[in-house]
Amino acid sequence: MHNFLEILRRQFPISNKDWEAFYNCLEVRTFSKKDIILQSGKVENYLYFIENGIIRIFAERNEKEITTAFGFRKSFFSSYTSFLTREPSCYNVQAITDVSIWGITYNKLQRIYTETQCGQLFGRLAAEELFIKKSQRELSLLELSAEERYLQLLKDHTELIQYIPLQYLASYIGITPQALSRIRKRIS
């Protein structure tokens, strides 16, 4: 997070006062491998930034899990629709490895929005990042085959993919574990 915070400060002019107000609102939270960070049905109260570790977001549909996102080091995550609308989340958020994350609550973010400049920035950057990722994902679901999607994932997060169980990767790619197992065999 220090890296990230430094990048933010370098890139945007933020007053010391604003900075402090913002920084003081951030909470560190840690979770162990397989912990549920947010249960579906509950309202997401945090917008997070990952310092370390890997998380996934998934929905449950007719006894199957649909993984909609992984979160890696230095990226934002949240069950963002729920966070924005204050309605129950239809997604679960789970730690895949032990994780250490920085979070800001909805109320504090709203306060920061009105009281400082850099809150807006934080909120805006998070919104941008999350929207852009969803758009890219949409295109990859529409234009690529399952095998191409897997290769893309490998390329983008080479060293991280090894920590993620095959079944989660498969549900993210949108195929069955069997099909992914065969793809792996084919390309190796």
Partner DNA sequence: CGCCGAGTTGAACTGAATCAAGAAACGTGG
Partner DNA sequence: CCACGTTTCTTGATTCAGTTCAACTCGGCG
52: number of Cβ within 10 Å: 14
For position 28 contacting its own copies by CB under 8 A, the verdict is no
For position 135 contacting DNA by CB under 7 A, the verdict is no
Q: How many residues in the shown chain lie near its own copies by CB under 8 A?
A: 25
Interacting span for its own copies (CB under 8 A) from 14-22, 23-31, 77-85, 178-186: 77-85
For position 99 contacting DNA by CB under 7 A, the verdict is no
For position 88 contacting DNA by CB under 7 A, the verdict is no
81 binds, among its own copies, DNA, none (CB under 5 to 8 A by kind): its own copies
The CA distance from 164 to 155, in Å, is: 15
Indicate which single residue of 20, 66, 90, 165 sits in contact with DNA (rule: CB under 7 A): 165
The CA distance from 37 to 1, in Å, is: 19
For position 63 contacting its own copies by CB under 8 A, the verdict is no
Q: 165: which 2 tokens? A: 């169980």
Contact 102, 1 (CB under 8 A): yes
- Dihedral sign for Cα atoms in the order 58, 70, 113, 38: positive
111 binds, among its own copies, DNA, none (CB under 5 to 8 A by kind): none
The residues near 117 (Cβ < 8 Å, ≥ 6 apart) are 14, 15, 18
For position 134 contacting its own copies by CB under 8 A, the verdict is yes
DSSP 15: -
End-to-end C-alpha distance for the chain, whole angstroms: 36
Residues that bind its own copies (CB under 8 A): 59, 61, 66, 68, 80-81, 84-85, 113, 120, 127-128, 130-132, 134-135, 137-139, 141-143, 171, 174
